[in-house]
Structure 1
Amino acid sequence: MPAKSKWERLADHLRSQIESGELAPGDKLPSTTELCQQHSVSAITVRQAIFKLRTEGLIEGVQGVGVFVAER
């Protein structure tokens, strides 16, 4: 089985924080810049992970405000 890409690992990490309740519905995710620094990845990597979680319905973006954990 091939190793997971950086964006998949980041998505898995954020997903586990959401599922464990560490990030609760309505919580704002760190900014792209903060996630880049915390996980030593590029902005593209963060955007891919965010896109994946958005398609799963776990998070939602608010234009000009940020990305938030979706209500269940």
Structure 2
Amino acid sequence: MPAKPKWAQIADHVREQIASGQLSPGDKLPSTAEMRAEYGVSAGVVRHAILVLQMERLVHGVHGLGVFVADRDDAAGS
């Protein structure tokens, strides 16, 4: 079985942090540069992971400020 793509591994890790309460609604995710350094990947890989999480309504981006964990009500309201 092929290894899971890096973007999926990052998305899984953030999902786990949200589910465990390590990241709470309103918390800011690390910057793209910080995540690149932490996971050893390109900015495009980080952006792909964030895009997937945004489509799942787990996080939302605020232009110029960063990416934040969505309120649980927002995530449940799909």
TM-score normalised to structure 2 length: 0.89
1:57 maps to: 57
Is 1:23 matched up with 2:23?
yes
CA shift at 1:52, angstroms? 0.3
SS at match of 1:27: coil
The Cα offsets for residues 7-65 of structure 1, whole Å up to 9 and x where unpaired, read as 00010001100111100000000000000001111100000000000000000000111
Q: Structure 2: any 5+ residue segments left out of the alignment?
A: 73-78
Aligned length: 72
**Whole-angstrom CA distance in 1 between matches of 2:31 and 2:54:** 15
Letter in 1 for 2:35: L
Structure with the greater alpha carbon radius of gyration: 2
CA shift at 1:2, angstroms? 2.9
Q: Structure 1: any 5+ residue segments left out of the alignment?
A: none
TM-score normalised to structure 1 length: 0.96
2:71 maps to: 71
Identity across matched positions, percent: 60
**Whole-angstrom CA distance in 1 between matches of 2:56 and 2:63:** 19
Q: CA RMSD in A?
A: 0.7
1:44 maps to: 44
- Following superposition, which runs of at least 4 residues in structure 1 exceed 2 angstroms of deviation? none
